[in-house]
Amino acid sequence: MGCPDRIGAGPRTGRRARQGRRGGTGGASGTLTAAAQPSDGRSPRPAVIRRLRTAGSAGATTVRAVGSWFNAVLGGQDYQRYVDHLQRNHPGCEIPSEREYWRRRHADADSNPQNRCC
């Protein structure tokens, strides 16, 4: 069945559609139309699966990017960056634990408010 010529001219339903013109199933035999099948005779199913995998991969990439952005905004990599800085620029300094780093950082932010609203 091709595209409808007018709005509301969709597929037929009811007893007449089931009987069809030839008294059979009315074209609802479950076969795909020629336009839905690839031209080389392959099954259309792998193409659908491939598209779903591509969409899933794009969705996973987006979720990872959003997670990485939140991690950067909230300071998730700050301690590791600080440790790398100390090892690179101050090799003799003692490296604080992560807990001590965050304690000092929050104490410093409380004592020196600069770019905050309150």
- Give the pLDDT of residue 4: 45
Q: Which pLDDT score is estimated for 26?
A: 47
Band (9; pLDDT cuts 50, 70, 90): very low
Enter the tokens of residue 74: 């909230």
Rounded to 10 degrees, what is the CA torsion of 66, 70, 73, 78? -110
pLDDT at 98: 92
Q: Which pLDDT score is estimated for 7?
A: 53
Q: Between 40 and 77, where is the model more confident?
A: 77
For residues 62 and 56, is the Cβ–Cβ distance under 8 A? no
Cα gap 19→27, rounded to integer Å: 10
How far CA 64 is from CA of 51, 67, 69, 77, in Å, comes to 20, 5, 9, 15
pLDDT: which is higher, 33 or 100: 100
How far lies 88's CA from each of 14, 53, 81, 94, 98, in Å?
78, 43, 10, 13, 18
Alpha carbon distance 36, 101 (integer Å): 61
pLDDT digits 0-9 by tens, 19-63? 555 544 444 455 555 455 556 766 667 778 888 888 888 889 999
CA–CA distance, 18 with 33 (Å, rounded to integer): 18
Query: How many DSSP H helices and E strands does the chain contain?
Result: 4, 0
